A and B are shown apart, each in its own frame.
Chain A
Amino acid sequence: MTFNATEILEIPVGVGDITIGNLLYFVIILTLGVIVAKIVSINVRRVLSERLPKNERELLTKLINYGIIIWAFVIALPQLNFDLSGLLVAGGIVGLVIGFASQSVVSNLVSGLFLMFEHPIKIGDNINVGDVSGSVEDIRILSTVVKTYDGIYVRIPNETVFTSNITNYVHNAARRFEYQIGIRYEDDADAAIRIAKEVIATHPFALKSPAPSVFVDNLGDNSVNLTAYIWAPARNWWDVRTDLLLKIKQALEENGIEIPFPQRTVWFADGLEVKGRFAGERGKEE
């Protein structure tokens, strides 16, 4: 029995005039497209690694990747005897079918595209979406990947991201944080404010402008409460916050200003008799 490869390629698959050969070419072209897309996007990423911010680089890489794949798909389509001119007519119907069949997928896709172009978040940003807080690891076509501050991987569908309230903690250049510092009533509040301001002024990233503000905010049950408002670069504010508070505490203590413990003065209407004390005194007299 002779084996002829050409004949095998010409065997119809049962759908229109499509042969195994057509199907094979279709798959080969598509595979080549995917491989070329991969190679090109890897090289684009490598070339742009030091020239573009990560977010723009990833967006451009993805656009090139999907662009090449779609291009390969369009080139491969005639192998399936698919008339591209009919695509316009069929597009509407197919669109409807796809729309109903994959509503959430399309919704996520469209939301993903909007996210990429609207830029409410970028890769590396610290964000809060719904009940997820963390840094953005990747913005994909269908989903956004967030690494929580505990290092946990969370995949959020783009539709959820797009329709939720997004808090981006580093979108602006600078942000403000505050401390509550309690001092004893007998301590000099003016001196405490001056010392706190001096410590803040020595920190490189506690911004000179907007100027920090330290003031007596309220008179508490156990302490005079000072509030300090400090502006810091949005991407470094946490480092500044964790660094400064200890330094302020140390500086206050070095100057004899203490942060008081909760205390309560109790008054007894009939005085307070301590039995043990009298017994002790009697013992001494004897």
Chain B
Amino acid sequence: MFGRYRGSFRRECGDILVEAESVDGLLTYRRRCEGQTFERILVSKTGEVVINPVEPVNLPKDITDFLQIEFSPMIIEPGASRTVYLKFPIEIGVLVECARDIEVVDVFAPDSQKYTLYGSPTNGVITRYYESTVYPEVPLVEPFREGVMEFSIQNAYREWVEVSRVVFESTDMKIYYGDFVAATAKMKILTKTMAETDFVDAPLRPGMVKSVELYTARKIPAIDRGYLMEWGLS
């Protein structure tokens, strides 16, 4: 389903149908997913429809830029580092692109979403919430529902630290797709309650294609500076 399309096309995967159909000379984009439908008329001479996984913080409404993944607790030795694999939720973005501009047409996902608060109600942030098991190797994932995150964790603190969640700022997110959807991220533990997190702009497997991020499409300038988790790691 992911890729670039010109003119009419039709892709159907399970419950998801995405198509652009020419009716009476009008090109109509249509999507059906989980019983919900969405339709737009596309007026374009040179434009391409781009379908790719995007940052999972847009549904059912865009209310935050943060993604929190909760996983089985890990206790990490001072100075130790390890790479594990997590699953993360994905949303599917449909964009139209021409030489001069790119615009978001539709964002959908076959799964339901859940949000949570990281930190206190006064100072915390609302985050998209997702639970994952910790995998030593790349796990099998459900296509169009979840992706694989290569997650490198390093304990730069002088004491043992327990970690069971990670919070990312999605504006930094770099998503790649191929046989499956993937992202690479890192976490550096600074104290028992603080850590820096960031995404790495690299494909998990050679040949993976980089997604067009919604932040790029929406022309929102963002500085890739990572995120400082200040309100606890577990």
Partner-B contacts on A (CB < 8 A): 50-51, 172-176, 202, 204-205, 207-210, 231, 233, 235-236
Contact = CB atoms under 8 A, between A and B. Distances in A.
Instruction: Classify the interface of chain A: helix, strand, loop or mixed.
Output: loop
Nearest to B220: A50
Contacts of A175: 121
B79 interface: no
A205 B113 CA distance: 8
A173 B60 CA distance: 18
Given A204-B112, A204-B115, A233-B115, 12 more contacts: A50-B219, A173-B117, A173-B121, A173-B123, A174-B117, A205-B115, A207-B115, A207-B126, A208-B114, A208-B115, A208-B129, A231-B121
Interface residues of B, number: 23
A75 to B, nearest CB: 35
B117 A209 contact: yes
Contacts of B126: 173-174, 207, 233
A207 B116 contact: yes
Interface in B102-140: 112-117, 119, 121-126, 129
A118 B218 CA distance: 31
Contacts of B221: 51
A51 B220 contact: yes
Instruction: Classify the interface of chain B: helix, strand, loop or mixed.
Output: loop
Contact of A210 (B114, B121, B129): B121
A172 B122 contact: yes
30 contacts: A50-B218, A50-B220, A51-B220, A172-B121, A172-B122, A173-B121, A173-B123, A173-B124, A173-B125, A173-B126, A175-B121, A202-B112, A204-B60, A204-B112, A204-B113, A205-B61, A205-B63, A205-B115, A207-B117, A207-B126, A208-B114, A208-B116, A208-B129, A209-B116, A209-B117, A231-B117, A233-B64, A233-B126, A235-B63, A236-B63
Contacts of A236: 61, 63
B117 A210 contact: yes
A231 B117 CA distance: 9
A174 B125 CA distance: 8
Contacts of B114: 204, 208
Interface string B211-225: 000000011110000
A186 B53 CA distance: 50
Contacts of B119: 173
A236 to B, nearest CB: 6
Interface string B192-219: 0000000000000000000000000011
Contacts of B123: 173
A235 B126 CA distance: 11
A172 B64 CA distance: 14
A233 B122 CA distance: 12
Contacts of A172: 121-122
A81 to B, nearest CB: 49
Nearest to B113: A204
Contacts of A173: 117, 119, 121-126
